[in-house]
Chains A and B, each alone.
Chain A
């Protein structure tokens, strides 16, 4: 029981990071029908820029407290990623908006490689130690379950950002314009919506979320390096598909479900398969679940819109 609870907590922590990244994929897909494969690498840039900013602050303003340093580092990283997201959209995707769907997809993969290579040139191939400004020493265990302050922060911040995004999309003028653009951007522009601006805003918001996810990810694991965005990016994309790509609630649900499935899968797959499979199938297990869900619900857990998109 203790183990199951611990695995659930592990899964929730990983899952909420996946969910946060998955939102970026799903927003862009919802509006453009484009899978932005560079999204995971924006996360990587976010983490490394924050690392750089925090190191600078620590050398020049050591009297600044831990939390202000982290927040300042996060702030710099969010701004840099917003600019990066805007630049990617403006230079790589906007020109291809009316091109066949394969072209922007390939471009997205190209942007991903470009970002990784640039990061490798700037920060080198080594793993960097990410300063863990929020404590990673577990608090007093409750019911035998260990959780660290940084993991609590991850859970809270993810929840707040997700709720914030849902409110933004459903309650604000910008959100209404985003929904209109997603529905049909030609009609939306006829109705006076500046779709270019809305699409740019979508990229900017998604990139900001990726930056936050990147900083939280690195704060939890204490490392950062140029290829760190690939795996969480892939997992978050899977989560978005699992939940129903293009659907915000679906991305969140998909992320949490994927995190839980991975964690509990790795913990119990051996017993469940009577020793036939083991934890080296941890990743595969998540994809098996994805396969099964897609067979019975081709549009994902909450997705309805994919049918008319495809």
Chain B
């Protein structure tokens, strides 16, 4: 089995901003271990002489002229927001008390 620990999964959940429950951390630790055991086989065939492919079809970066195109109105952009003040998205405090 892979050496994935509950502490690691807790750390990953924090990085991914998901407040996992203790039960979820236990089950994910074991599932992640068995999945990683399987997918780790990629390291056996990926020898240094093989270049990496990030994108299936070779493409150049695409640019356009820096002019205003068709965009959403503020009203449209805010329409699906959980909270807003009419012109901006509203969120809770960015910093906690200790920060």
- Asked if A and B are interacting partners, one says no
